[in-house]
């Protein structure tokens, strides 16, 4: 068994690390306090080809594997989870859905804009009354001649105000739940599509999360993505990809939090010695390091399954679930290591603590990941379990 990265993967990891330390780390605190997305860093990421890492070169991307994408999400996640998730949603949820289900004409029209052209995309599935259960979504799309008219509301749309196009899911067979869903590519300036204000949030304040309103929103029929009523398989494949990406971002966030705690433990002195000398503190550090290494191996294994064309859905759920837990536990313990300073906005650990909480929610909640893992296990016993 060979666990090492290839020379090319190591080279890209170094490139991602350099980029993050220069362009992302210095503005992580600022974008949180200003509650403003990292627009300049995203432009520079686009210029370096980092917004199209797994998109094939023929469509303007870098044509790299999932494992290399996880290295990118990890490096960015170490310093700024808002930026890591912004890019992950753009790349693995939205752009890759166009690669996955688009016609040749759609791929040629949209992917170069998203992979290297500096434009961002969003993925609008969730609705006010349809979160964990997307089959119950109420946005409808009806076709008249050469146009689909979309009616409904999408909330929690990450990148909603930054995106020049949205991948939107609507029912084209109301009452048919998942079997009646279709996907659409919706340009941001489409008639009757209104992007609401940025949502204020507990953490990830550098993200741009919006509600989007469709009131007879016009979408040309050629912007149907995949087959009519064929949206659900696109969602399922997108979930697998994004869970892997979020797990990698969580790995980075956990590593970043651990580094903050370790540095603080070395510098902070109480009872005449660095607190790193205290076994209670050492135990926190050791526990987190163990979780992080377990997570790293699960992320790498899941990426390997994906890169070798194997079914990786269950592992993506496991990795996402473990990632959310490891990041939350590490941020919590490292805040404890900081003592009262950890509760101060002046210390980065307080931002990380707020940010990582979202990992248990987006891309499917912890409860839904556990269901997905259990479903796979009971499937093997011939028992179908329901969410």
Ligand X SMILES: Cc1cc2nc3c(=O)[nH]c(=O)nc-3n(C[C@H](O)[C@H](O)[C@H](O)COP(=O)(O)OP(=O)(O)OC[C@H]3O[C@@H](n4cnc5c(N)ncnc54)[C@H](O)[C@@H]3O)c2cc1C
Binding site for ligand X (CB under 6 A): 89, 122-126, 131-132, 156-158, 204, 209, 358, 361-362, 364-365, 367-368, 371, 387
CB of 94 or CB of 285, closer to ligand X: 94
6-13 long-range contacts, CB within 8 A, separation 24+? 8/68, 9/67, 9/68, 9/71, 12/64, 12/68, 12/71, 12/72, 13/71, 13/75
CB of 320 or CB of 333, closer to ligand X: 320
CB of 170 to ligand X, least distance (A): 12
CB of 158 or CB of 350, closer to ligand X: 158
CB of 352 to ligand X, least distance (A): 15
Q: How far is CA 311 from CA 241, 305, 328, in A?
A: 11, 7, 28
CB of 274 or CB of 376, closer to ligand X: 376
Q: How far is CA 22 from CA 8, 76, 181, 315, in A?
A: 21, 11, 43, 33
CB of 150 to ligand X, least distance (A): 15
CB of 295 to ligand X, least distance (A): 20
CB of 370 to ligand X, least distance (A): 8
Reduced 3-state DSSP string for 332-362: HHHHHHCHHHHHCCCCHHHHHHHHHHHHHCC
CB of 71 or CB of 137, closer to ligand X: 137
Radius of gyration of the chain (CA): 21
Please give the sequence-ordered ranges of beta strands (E in DSSP) within the chain, or none if there are none.
120-124, 140-144, 147-158, 163-171, 181-187, 193-198, 209-220, 224-225, 269-270, 273-274
Q: How far apart are CA 52 and CA 56, in angstroms?
A: 8
CB of 305 or CB of 327, closer to ligand X: 327
Task: Tell me which residue has its CB nearest to ligand X.
Answer: 131
CB of 13 or CB of 354, closer to ligand X: 354
CA angle 66, 72, 73 (to 5 degrees): 90
CB of 249 to ligand X, least distance (A): 12
CB of 128 to ligand X, least distance (A): 8
Q: Would you state the structure tokens that stand for residue 40, as one six-digit string?
A: 């300049």
Q: Are strands 269-270 and 163-171 parallel, antiparallel or unpaired?
A: unpaired
**Per DSSP, what are the bridge partners of residue 134?**
none
CB of 155 to ligand X, least distance (A): 8
Q: How far is CA 160 from CA 70, 74, 325, in A?
A: 23, 23, 27
CB of 95 or CB of 126, closer to ligand X: 126
């Amino acid at each position: 068994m060979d666990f090492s990265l290839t020379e090319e993967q190591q080279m890209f990891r170094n490139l991602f690390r350099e980029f993050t330390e220069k362009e992302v780390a210095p503005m992580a605190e600022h974008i949180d306090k200003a509650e403003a997305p990292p627009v300049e860093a995203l432009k520079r990421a686009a210029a370096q080809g980092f917004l199209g890492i797994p998109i094939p070169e023929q469509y303007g991307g870098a044509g790299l594997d999932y494992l290399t994408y996880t290295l990118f999400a990890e490096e960015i996640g170490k310093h700024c989870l808002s930026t890591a998730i912004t890019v992950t949603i753009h790349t693995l949820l939205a752009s890759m859905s166009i690669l996955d289900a688009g016609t040749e004409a759609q791929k040629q029209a949209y992917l170069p804009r998203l992979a290297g052209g500096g434009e961002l995309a969003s993925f609008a599935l969730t609705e006010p009354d349809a979160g964990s259960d997307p089959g119950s979504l109420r946005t409808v799309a009806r076709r008249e001649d050469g146009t689909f008219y979309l009616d409904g509301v999408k909330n929690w749309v990450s990148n909603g105000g930054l995106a020049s196009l949205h991948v939107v899911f609507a029912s084209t067979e109301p009452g048919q739940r998942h079997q009646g869903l279709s996907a659409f590519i919706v340009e941001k300036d489409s008639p009757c599509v209104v992007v609401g204000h940025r949502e204020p949030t507990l953490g990830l304040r550098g993200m741009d999360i919006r509600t989007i309103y469709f009131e007879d929103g016009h979408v040309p029929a050629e912007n149907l993505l995949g087959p009519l009523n064929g949206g659900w398989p696109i969602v399922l494949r997108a979930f697998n990809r994004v869970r892997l990406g979020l797990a990698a971002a969580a790995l980075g966030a956990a590593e970043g939090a651990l580094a903050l705690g370790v540095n603080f433990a070395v510098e902070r002195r109480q009872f005449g010695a660095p607190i790193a000398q205290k076994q209670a503190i050492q135990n926190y550090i050791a526990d987190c390091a163990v979780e992080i290494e377990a997570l790293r191996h699960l992320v790498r294994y899941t990426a390997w399954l994906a890169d070798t064309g194997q079914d990786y859905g269950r592992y993506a759920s496991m990795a996402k679930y473990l990632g959310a837990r490891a990041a939350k536990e590490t941020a919590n313990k490292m805040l404890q290591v900081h003592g009262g300073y950890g509760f101060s906005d002046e210390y980065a650990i307080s931002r990380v603590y707020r940010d990582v909480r979202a990992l248990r929610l987006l891309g499917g909640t912890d409860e839904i990941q556990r269901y997905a893992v259990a479903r796979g296990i009971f499937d093997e016993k011939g028992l179908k379990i329901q969410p």
